[in-house]
Homo-oligomer: A and B are copies of this chain.
Amino acid sequence: MALWKGRLDGDTNAQMWEVNASISFDRRMAIQDVRGSRAWAEALERAGVLTGEEAAQIETGLAEIEEEFRSQTFSFAPGDEDIHTAVERRLGELIGPLAGKLHTGRSRNDQVATDFRLWMLDHLPALDAALDDLQGALVEHAEAALIPSPSPRGRREFSPLPLGEGSGVREGRPLIMPGYTHLQRAQPILLSHWWLSHFWPLQRDRERLADLIPRVSSLPLGSGALAGVPFPVDRAALAENLGFERAAPNSIDAVSDRDFAAEFLFTAALIGVHLSKLAENVILFTSAEFGFFELSDEYSTGSSLMPQKKNPDPFELARGKAGTLLGHLTGMLATLKGLPSAYDKDLQEDKVPVFTAYDTLAALLPVLAGALRTLTVNGDRMESALSPAMMATDLADYLVERGIPFREAHHLTGQAVRLALQKGKALNALTLGEFQAIHPAFAEDVYQVFDPQQSVARRASLGGTAPEAVKKQLQKAKEVMSEK
């Protein structure tokens, strides 16, 4: 029977019951619900509401229920509207009417908010660890493409990548690839640098998750329905007991605050965006036209129709799920918009998106890490894509170093590019005469600017693509990971 019949007569409409009940999804917080109840019983005892004997009996019953959940032997009943009802019902079966004392001074409003926060505090570390693992895969690739192995791996030991020949350094030097802007070839960059460009967004995600924790860690329990608890419960002690940083300072706010859920969903959506960027790149790079990467068969799929196909499904799913994750965030914020104070039933819509977003990332992140770790780099394709025109900026800089203002140098180089296009030849195939007809500052040494190794080496400032800068960056990346 529903906990709340109170003044209401007759049976609840069956369809209404179905729409209203939350047991299909909040059963997921069973462990948290029991943990919260155990702490509440203890708090009631300290407040003198339960005797030591009563509290002990309740504790014994709850411990048994927790064990039933852990061993998956708990039986739900048809009338179990939600996880709170299920636990209270079962407690009654185990210890009799005394079970009816557990709900003293609390409401499902503060109870469910507590369960939900406990659940999130329990699960954020796993998400953080999955991000860490994906970062690890990126760092492994970054290292392999930068430093001749066997290499000292620093404080954190990265597992050796079973990379193909093309994946690592070339003749003792870092592997170079075309960097793109607007998906047009822009400038040469180190592959290692590119891998690390996907590391930092995930690091920011982890920072956001860390920033979220104190806001999750505010205990609603003891807020009652909205007005607080009418017994002398020590909420600060209760918070500490349950591992919260503090008790929520306002009971009205506490029962309806779902900021933490929205913030989690935002963080998840932004993780999704970052994964979609990585995914878009991998999908491009595994196309026949780019040919920079090849996925392992283990992380690819084929076609039911076309026998030659090898599809980058995990990355397409990552890209697609970024959209879905955004939907979860939007839905939650739209649900919250315009609600009046304290608890409204609308808030029941909070859990499914959070659980789904968590499950999505918890399933996806290891797959992406695995797909990256088994991916093969085709260094030959990458380096053969380094067309001379990608050094046009270096060519302009060459003129800058000879005293010509950059804007003019840019203009002159543009002329050279156009001349080469007109003549149907590569930029570095222009003759010295042709260069000098554009500007007399061009000299014999102009052809040196077309060396991609020199191009990258010049960009040695912090954050730049020169090997020495990338080495420092890699070191920094390892440091921030190990700090966590």
Contact = CB atoms under 8 A, between A and B. Distances in A.
Interface stretch (A61-69, A70-78, A144-152, A284-292): A284-292
Given A8-B297, A197-B250, A343-B181, A227 B459 contact: yes
Q: Which 3 A-B pairs have the closest CB atoms?
A: A327-B331, A228-B464, A320-B346
Interface in A181-198: 181-189, 193-194, 196-198
A303 B4 contact: yes
Interface in A313-331: 313-314, 316-317, 319-331
B410 A473 contact: no
A300 B366 CA distance: 40
B97 A182 contact: no
Given A6-B413, A226-B189, A407-B99, A308 B427 contact: yes
Nearest to A352: B324
Interface stretch (A13-21, A114-122, A161-169): A13-21
Residue in A346, A396, A464 whose Cβ sees the most chain B Cβ within 10 Å: A346
A455 to B, nearest CB: 8
A181 B4 CA distance: 14
Number of copies: 4
A35 interface: no
Interface in A274-296: 276-277, 279-281, 283-284, 286-290
B395 A227 contact: no
Given A259-B204, A280-B340, A387-B288, A9 B333 contact: no
A481 interface: no
A331 to B, nearest CB: 2
Interface stretch (A26-34, A101-109, A439-447): A101-109
A229 B461 contact: yes
A323 B10 CA distance: 31
Given A183-B283, A273-B333, A329-B330, 12 more contacts: A4-B309, A7-B417, A103-B406, A178-B288, A182-B283, A182-B316, A184-B312, A185-B287, A193-B252, A197-B342, A236-B462, A249-B462
A186 B101 contact: no
A108 B407 CA distance: 13
Q: Which of A196, A309, A339, A370 has the most chain B CB within a 10 Å cutoff?
A: A309
B345 A320 contact: yes
Interface in A425-479: 427, 455-456, 458-466, 469, 473, 476-477
A297 B9 contact: yes
A6 B308 contact: yes
A349 B250 CA distance: 33
A393 B263 contact: no
Interface in A335-350: 335-349
Q: Which of A250, A280, A284 counts the most chain B CB atoms within 10 A?
A: A250
Contacts of A347: 320
Contacts of A223: 463-464
Interface in A240-268: 247-257, 259, 262-263, 266
Contacts of A251: 193, 459, 463-465
B6 A340 contact: no
Contacts of A232: 460-461
Interface in A176-228: 178-189, 193-194, 196-201, 204, 207-208, 211, 215, 222-228
Contacts of A283: 182-183
Contacts of A311: 181-182, 184, 345
A92 B161 CA distance: 41
Contacts of A290: 289
A7 B395 CA distance: 14
B301 A2 contact: yes
Interface string A83-114: 01000100000000111111111111100000
Nearest to A306: B393
A425 to B, nearest CB: 14
A289 B287 CA distance: 10
A288 to B, nearest CB: 5
Contacts of A328: 327, 331
Contacts of A308: 6-7, 389-390, 392, 413-414, 417, 427
12 contacts: A4-B301, A15-B366, A103-B305, A103-B407, A183-B286, A183-B312, A186-B303, A189-B252, A284-B284, A288-B387, A307-B413, A323-B349
